[in-house]
């Protein structure tokens, strides 16, 4: 590769691309950031992507690193646990971690605007309305269609594709030989709905939680917004009974919500309109390899698109940037060494969080309403309290620690095998508070 | 879907596309067959694909069905088993099946020519030099670049993509939502080399066998040709030690072959030239779903590209056509029902043979040189002799039976679990001839 890197193109001014540009500009590179959309700060048009996101430790770490956390904190809404809504309207609260550990609801648009302002201020050249048509991976050249409709081809020392799940850079890599690629759509889609603030201008339901209506094969969730509304997301099969396909009329939709999510219905003020006007979107997992070809590099969703059920999509992308910056420090900007390590380290972590996210859908929509599962969570919380260094629940390792995703996944599987045994004891549901916890924790060393 | 199907486009005049066109023409459809290459019957240009193929029962069944087997038999060279070449030049012959069961080496080009002639004779309109640029899946329209360089868009009632591993129809499907896709390149590539006839014009090595030089991580194989030459294929890692990358000079190549495949070297008359002039090609497995979108259908390698190690690529594609024809009979050309069943049946079979083919690489390059493995094969052959209805070795189920690949795969896994137990008996290598075979075979029912 050309190791004399001065001029870098970043594709995609979404969250990851913009954060990455700030990192690189800070290191003294000449950074051009290209975005096919218009400047979101000037328009209120819908980006077609999810409205709010869960920001947690890995993402926060990177935001702090580029000194933008103070500003972001003003738009963060803490969610301290899951609030489960049962069919008969009972609420059960399950904390995400220990006292003081929480995840944060943030608006994608607001966070992106903060990052764009910071990037611009720090000297990143941002080019909106530049649609990447193709990338010449051999020559590190990118062809854009610019706002005037003309095509232009620009050459860089390095191209970083942060252009999301449908990355043009990845499409170009796919045309080269020996590129491994997997895209998998789950049978469920999602649709966003709104719980507006009450007439008094207050949150209609508990604001400091992520609300879940788990219903086995599908679920509704709700995350709070700064304006005291909630964005609800229905994760629901595309086909079958019931499904997006099977709910065709406003009457069917109302009937279904009344029977399935009864306590949500009084709050979903515009459901009949929103259900039919808002899009139904699909959910894809993408894995590929290699992430680096010549002087072209994939990062964030472009390298590892994941389903949203662990709330780690943005956090994983931000951590890619954080770790890339750590490697640039370590190797004093010797990109050949940096990129070799970057791919080796982050590929296995990307695969791990992709699998964890798929698995967590089952947990969220089904297991969180299961007594046995909830008791297992309580036992694990107790183990973590008593042996904080030895036993950390998988959710905490992923969400509240800096452990590599791949390590968290491996330890989590070992813990699950141990807990499977524990939960098979005949009287565990009644006597779980009397378990010999030291014996359980010691199994980790066996 | 539009169920009034009269005018069908078949993309790709390779083996599967041409065979499929003959089937459809026989049923009375108006069939146009499009091929991006020029007419192979008029030129001797290399297609860039493998030179010879293993034709076995599933492929033969389809050729017989369209009354072309007589002609094909004239170009078939029976291979009755594997001839293993050890490092010190010892030969071991392992029959593929029972007496009278064999696979056949056929030249891809010769077989394709026979099929093209028959297609033309039966009234299929063949359009060479027509490169498919894109397919409109909603409207069943295909845009071609024709030999004069002009683009034209044609509309059909049905489009069948038999256009191979890099199918344009599949690429169009991939741009639609919710298309699952996986492409996986193994770390090995392949290079073809030639053993010409002897000076007396005879085969240089045993003609009625598939020759293997198994060497653990890689292997050389040889298949006989009608002109009494052999086409050898070196399956070898792209990188590492040794690999295509590590053999850079004619001296290194000679030295490597001398040490690794010593008894092949005297026969490989042009190795120094061929090794550097012939291309190194990659090996991909492709799985996707759905195979049917609106009135567009994938078939053969376009739907399920597999590695060549089970000799089933062409046979699986021909069986797709055979089974499609069976369904057209069953449902009296009601394509909606036909395509639903086609996808449900053949998708699981395509997945199964893809996995079996990957697994068989390990068997061919490594296990066939393993004593324990060879004794396992002998025990299984004996089981098959004594209990032909109950125990058929996996290779036989795949190669010499009409069992669905998915069933063969499932039964094969069960048999493997039983044989794993048998082979763990401490004295099995010495006493295998005294095993209680009835006890073994009865485990299948447990």
Residues B8-20 have pLDDT tens digits of 999 999 999 999 9
Nearest 10 degrees: Cα torsion B177, A143, A141, A327? -50
Is A153's Cβ below 8 Å from some Cβ in B?
Answer: no
According to the per-residue pLDDT averaged within each range, which of A280-294, A374-388, B420-434 is highest? A280-294
Is B184's Cβ below 8 Å from some Cβ in A?
Answer: yes
B244 vs A contacts (CB less than 8 Å)? none
Is B425's Cβ below 8 Å from some Cβ in A?
Answer: no
Closest residue on chain A to B185 (Cα): A178
Q: What are phi and psi of A394, to 5 degrees?
A: -55, -45
In a domain, B233, yes or no: yes
Distance in angstroms (rounded) separating the CA atoms of residues B218 and B283: 14
Q: Which of A99, A155, A136, A109 is nearest to A14 (CA)?
A: A109
Q: Which of B326, B307, B314, B315 is nearest to B235 (CA)?
A: B307
C-alpha of B40 from chain center: 20
B57 lies in the same domain as B201: no
Q: Which of A126, A94, A95, A177 is nearest to A13 (CA)?
A: A126
The set of residues, in sequence order, having a beta carbon less than 8 Å from that of A188 and lying 6+ positions away, is A218, A235, A236, A237, A238, A283, A361
What confidence score (pLDDT) does residue A352 get? 97
Burial A306-317 (b: 16+ CB within 10 A, else e): bbbbbbbbbbbb
Interface contact flag, A180 B178, Cβ < 8 Å: no
Closest residue on chain B to A189 (Cα): B178
Q: Which of B119, B70, B78, B77 is nearest to B97 (CA)?
A: B78
B180 vs A contacts (CB less than 8 Å)? 183-185
The DSSP bridge partners found for residue A34 are A11, A127
pLDDT band at B48 (very low <50, low <70, confident <90, very high): low
Average pLDDT, whole number, for chain A?
Answer: 95
B29 lies in the same domain as B120: yes
The shortest CB-CB distance from B282 to any of A177, A182, A282 is to A177
Is A243's Cβ below 8 Å from some Cβ in B?
Answer: no
Residue A2 reports pLDDT greater than 70? no
Interface contact flag, B180 A183, Cβ < 8 Å: yes
Contact, B358 vs B307, CB < 8 A?
yes
B282, B309, B341 — which closes off a domain? Answer: B282
pLDDT tens readout for residues A143-152: 999 888 899 9
The shortest CB-CB distance from B184 to any of A180, A185, A282 is to A180
The shortest CB-CB distance from B178 to any of A180, A182, A282 is to A282
B353 lies in the same domain as B416: no
pLDDT tens readout for residues B131-170: 999 999 999 999 999 888 899 999 999 999 999 999 999 9
Interface contact flag, A179 B184, Cβ < 8 Å: no
pLDDT tens readout for residues A340-356: 999 999 999 999 999 99
Residue A70 burial (CB < 10 Å; 0-12/13-18/19+)? exposed
Contact, B66 vs B118, CB < 8 A?
yes
**A-to-B residue pairs, Cβ atoms closer than 8 angstroms:** 30
What confidence score (pLDDT) does residue A51 get? 85
Is A48's Cβ below 8 Å from some Cβ in B?
Answer: no
pLDDT band at A374 (very low <50, low <70, confident <90, very high): confident
Is A184's Cβ below 8 Å from some Cβ in B?
Answer: yes
Q: Based on the structure, what is the number of domains in chain B?
A: 3
* Six-digit token string for B223: 């298949």
Going by their DSSP bridges, the two strands B81-85 and B103-107 should be labelled as unpaired
Q: Give A106 to chain B, closest Cα distance, Å.
A: 28
B282 vs A contacts (CB less than 8 Å)? 177-178
Preceding omega of A220 cis (within 30 degrees of 0): no
The shortest CB-CB distance from B183 to any of A181, A184, A238 is to A181
B223 lies in the same domain as B173: no
A263, A281, A299 — which closes off a domain? Answer: A281
Mutate to test the interface with A, among B48, B167, B174, B185 (most CBs of A within 10 A): B185
A184 vs B contacts (CB less than 8 Å)? 180, 182
Preceding omega of B168 cis (within 30 degrees of 0): no
pLDDT band at A366 (very low <50, low <70, confident <90, very high): confident
B272 lies in the same domain as B290: no
Going by their DSSP bridges, the two strands A180-195 and A281-289 should be labelled as antiparallel
User: Residue A427: CA atoms inside 13 Å, Cβ hemisphere, count?
Assistant: 5
B75 lies in the same domain as B140: yes
Average pLDDT, whole number, for chain B?
Answer: 95
In a domain, A51, yes or no: yes
Q: Give A14 to chain B, closest Cα distance, Å.
A: 22
In a domain, A85, yes or no: no
Distance in angstroms (rounded) separating the CA atoms of residues B241 and A273: 64
Q: Give A247 to chain B, closest Cα distance, Å.
A: 20
Cα–Cα distances in Å, from A194 out to A224, A231, A274, B116? 10, 5, 8, 61
Interface contact flag, A177 B238, Cβ < 8 Å: no
Is A198's Cβ below 8 Å from some Cβ in B?
Answer: no
Average pLDDT over residues A378-392: 93
A182 vs B contacts (CB less than 8 Å)? 181-184
What confidence score (pLDDT) does residue A194 get? 96
A16 lies in the same domain as A123: yes
A238 vs B contacts (CB less than 8 Å)? 178
Residue A5 reports pLDDT greater than 60? yes
pLDDT tens readout for residues A168-182: 999 999 999 999 999
Is B171's Cβ below 8 Å from some Cβ in A?
Answer: no
The single residue listed with the structure tokens 């392949």 is B190
The set of residues, in sequence order, having a beta carbon less than 8 Å from that of A149 and lying 6+ positions away, is none
Contact, A237 vs A244, CB < 8 A?
yes
Q: Is B216 left (phi over 0), alpha (psi -120 to 50) or beta?
A: left
pLDDT tens readout for residues A229-280: 999 999 999 999 999 999 999 999 999 999 999 999 999 999 999 999 999 9
A134 lies in the same domain as A52: yes
In a domain, B100, yes or no: no
A231, A255, A281 — which closes off a domain? Answer: A281
Residue B49 reports pLDDT greater than 90? no
Is B166's Cβ below 8 Å from some Cβ in A?
Answer: no
Query: Looking at this predicted complex, what is its ipTM?
Result: 0.89
Is B43's Cβ below 8 Å from some Cβ in A?
Answer: no
B178 vs A contacts (CB less than 8 Å)? 185, 238, 282
In a domain, B94, yes or no: no
Interface contact flag, B178 A185, Cβ < 8 Å: yes
Q: Give B253 to chain A, closest Cα distance, Å.
A: 24
pLDDT tens readout for residues B89-127: 999 999 999 999 999 999 999 999 999 999 999 999 999
A258 lies in the same domain as A348: no
A340 lies in the same domain as A429: no
Distance in angstroms (rounded) separating the CA atoms of residues B17 and B49: 16
Is A180's Cβ below 8 Å from some Cβ in B?
Answer: yes
Closest residue on chain A to B281 (Cα): A177
pLDDT tens readout for residues B373-387: 889 999 999 999 999
Helix (H) or strand (E) holding B400: helix B394-400
Residue of A364 and B3 predicted with greater confidence: A364
Distance in angstroms (rounded) separating the CA atoms of residues B181 and A174: 12
* Six-digit token string for B188: 């090995």
Distance in angstroms (rounded) separating the CA atoms of residues A291 and A343: 6
pLDDT band at B46 (very low <50, low <70, confident <90, very high): low
Closest residue on chain A to B284 (Cα): A178
Mutate to test the interface with A, among B182, B280, B288, B307 (most CBs of A within 10 A): B182
Closest residue on chain A to B177 (Cα): A282
What is the percentage of chain A residues whose pLDDT exceeds 90? 89
pLDDT band at B44 (very low <50, low <70, confident <90, very high): low
Preceding omega of B66 cis (within 30 degrees of 0): no
**What's the domain range around B412?**
370-445
Residue B367 burial (CB < 10 Å; 0-12/13-18/19+)? middle
Residue A339 reports pLDDT greater than 90? yes
CATH of the domain at B78: 3.50.50.60
A185 vs B contacts (CB less than 8 Å)? 177-180
Cα–Cα distances in Å, from B166 out to B128, B284, B297, B304, B392? 18, 10, 15, 11, 35
What confidence score (pLDDT) does residue B308 get? 96
Interface contact flag, A180 B183, Cβ < 8 Å: yes
Interface contact flag, A183 B179, Cβ < 8 Å: yes
Helix (H, G, I), strand (E, B) or coil at B428: helix
Residues 309-348 of B with CB under 8 A from A: none
In a domain, A296, yes or no: yes
Interface contact flag, A181 B181, Cβ < 8 Å: yes
Is A185's Cβ below 8 Å from some Cβ in B?
Answer: yes
Interface contact flag, A181 B177, Cβ < 8 Å: no
What confidence score (pLDDT) does residue B218 get? 96
Q: Which of A167, A194, A210 is nearest to A301 (CA)?
A: A167
B23 lies in the same domain as B122: yes
B238 vs A contacts (CB less than 8 Å)? 178
Least reliable range by pLDDT among A18-32, A46-60, B271-285: A46-60
Closest residue on chain B to A187 (Cα): B178
What confidence score (pLDDT) does residue B363 get? 87
- The count of other CB atoms within 10 Å of the CB of residue B197 is 15
- The count of other CB atoms within 10 Å of the CB of residue A107 is 19
B305 vs A contacts (CB less than 8 Å)? none
Distance in angstroms (rounded) separating the CA atoms of residues B341 and B165: 23
* Six-digit token string for A238: 């595309």
User: For chain A, how long is the longest CA-to-CA vector?
Assistant: 72
What confidence score (pLDDT) does residue B120 get? 98
What confidence score (pLDDT) does residue A78 get? 98
Contact, B283 vs B188, CB < 8 A?
yes
Q: Give A245 to chain B, closest Cα distance, Å.
A: 15
The shortest CB-CB distance from A178 to any of B177, B181, B282 is to B282
The set of residues, in sequence order, having a beta carbon less than 8 Å from that of A131 and lying 6+ positions away, is A36, A144, A145
In a domain, B2, yes or no: no
* Six-digit token string for B211: 């020759």
Is A431's Cβ below 8 Å from some Cβ in B?
Answer: no
B111 lies in the same domain as B174: yes
What confidence score (pLDDT) does residue A367 get? 78
In a domain, A2, yes or no: no
Cα–Cα distances in Å, from B411 out to B391, B395, B406, B415, B445? 9, 11, 9, 6, 11
Distance in angstroms (rounded) separating the CA atoms of residues B380 and B414: 13
């Amino acid at each position: 590769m050309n190791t004399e890197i001065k001029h870098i193109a970043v594709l995609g001014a979404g969250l990851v691309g913009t954060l990455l540009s700030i990192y690189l500009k800070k290191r003294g590179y000449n950074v051009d950031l290209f975005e096919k959309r218009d400047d979101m700060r000037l328009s209120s048009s819908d980006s077609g992507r999810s409205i709010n996101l869960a920001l947690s430790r890995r993402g926060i770490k990177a935001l702090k690193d580029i000194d933008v956390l103070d500003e972001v904190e003003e738009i963060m809404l803490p969610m301290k646990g899951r609030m489960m809504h049962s069919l008969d309207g009972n609420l059960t609260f399950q904390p995400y971690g220990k006292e003081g550990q929480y995840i944060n609801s943030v608006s994608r648009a607001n966070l992106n605007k903060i990052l764009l302002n910071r990037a611009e201020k720090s000297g990143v050249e941002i080019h909106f309305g530049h649609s990447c048509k193709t990338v010449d991976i051999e020559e590190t050249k990118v062809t854009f269609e610019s706002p005037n409709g003309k095509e232009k081809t620009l050459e860089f020392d390095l191209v970083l594709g942060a252009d999301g799940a449908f990355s043009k850079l990845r499409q170009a890599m796919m045309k080269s030989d020996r590129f491994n690629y997997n895209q998998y759509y789950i049978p469920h889609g999602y649709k966003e709905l709104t719980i507006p603030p009450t007439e008094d201008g207050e949150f209609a339901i508990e604001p400091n939680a992520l609300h879940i209506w788990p219903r086995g094969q599908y679920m509704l969730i709700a995350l709070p917004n700064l304006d005291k509304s909630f964005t609800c997301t229905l994760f629901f099969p595309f086909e079958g009974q019931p499904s997006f396909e099977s709910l065709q009329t406003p009457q069917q939709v109302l009937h279904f919500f009344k029977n399935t999510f009864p306590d949500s219905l009084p709050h979903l003020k515009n459901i009949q309109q929103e259900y039919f006007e808002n899009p139904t979107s699909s959910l894809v997992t993408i894995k590929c390899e290699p992430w680096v070809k010549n002087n072209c590099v994939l990062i964030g969703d472009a390298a590892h698109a994941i389903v949203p059920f662990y709330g780690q999509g943005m956090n994983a992308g931000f951590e890619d940037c954080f770790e890339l910056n750590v490697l640039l420090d370590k190797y004093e900007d010797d990109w050949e060494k940096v990129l070799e390590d970057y791919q080796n380290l982050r590929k296995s972590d990307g695969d791990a969080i992709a699998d964890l996210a798929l698995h967590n859908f089952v947990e969220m929509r089904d297991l969180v309403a299961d007594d046995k599962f909830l008791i297992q969570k309580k036992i694990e919380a107790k183990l973590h309290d008593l042996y904080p260094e030895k036993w950390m629940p998988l959710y905490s390792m992923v969400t509240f620690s800096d452990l590599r995703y791949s390590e968290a996944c491996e330890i989590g599987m070992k813990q699950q095998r141990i807990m499977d045994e524990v939960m098979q004891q005949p009287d565990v549901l009644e006597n779980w508070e009397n378990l010999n916890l030291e014996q359980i924790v010691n199994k980790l060393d066996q």
